[in-house]
């Protein structure tokens, strides 16, 4: 766990606590349906943590999952996370169609740019 603070224009980081991956029992994202950076890590005791953002929380969970699969291959529980965003290969099959909406917005924006560049006769 790293503590971050700013002194004037200088950013400082301090390692507050370290754990072994083999001792991690579960990562609890608390609420899969809301955009929040809070999660719990279950070791011999439960640690309540806050990530920089919701995206960094998911990146952290994906990284821990990949490290576990690569080195330990133990049954690590990751609960209360949206499964779509935990697995890199599932990102295009989002259940709430976020990617399709984003693609449609990009399509309309591209069309507007093309139309704005067409010369008027």
4-39 residue pLDDT tens: 888 888 999 899 889 999 999 999 999 888 889 999
* Of residues 90 and 68, more confidently modeled: 68
38-42 β-sheet, strand order: 46-50, 38-42, 26-28, 77-79
Q: Which domain holds residue 114?
A: 88-120
Domain shared by 47 and 97, yes or no: no
User: Would you say 23 and 72 are in contact if contact means Cβ atoms under 8 Å apart?
Assistant: no
pTM (two decimals)? 0.67
Q: Copy the structure tokens of residue 54.
A: 């919701």
* CA gap 41, 23 in Å, rounded: 10
Domain shared by 12 and 29, yes or no: yes
Domain shared by 82 and 94, yes or no: no
Domain shared by 60 and 103, yes or no: no
Q: Please provide the average confidence, as pLDDT, over all residues in the chain.
A: 85
């Amino acid at each position: 766990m790293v503590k971050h603070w700013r002194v004037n224009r200088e950013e400082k980081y301090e390692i507050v606590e370290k754990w072994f991956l083999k001792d991690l029992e579960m990562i609890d994202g608390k609420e899969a349906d809301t955009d929040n950076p809070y999660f719990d890590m279950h070791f011999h005791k439960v640690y309540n943590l806050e990530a920089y953002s919701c995206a960094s929380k998911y990146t952290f969970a994906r990284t821990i999952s990949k490290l576990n699969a690569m080195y330990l291959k133990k049954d690590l529980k990751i609960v209360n996370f949206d499964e779509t965003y935990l697995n890199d290969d599932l990102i295009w099959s989002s259940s709430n169609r976020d990617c399709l909406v984003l693609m449609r917005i990009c399509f309309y924006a591209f069309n507007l740019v093309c139309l704005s560049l067409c010369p008027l006769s």
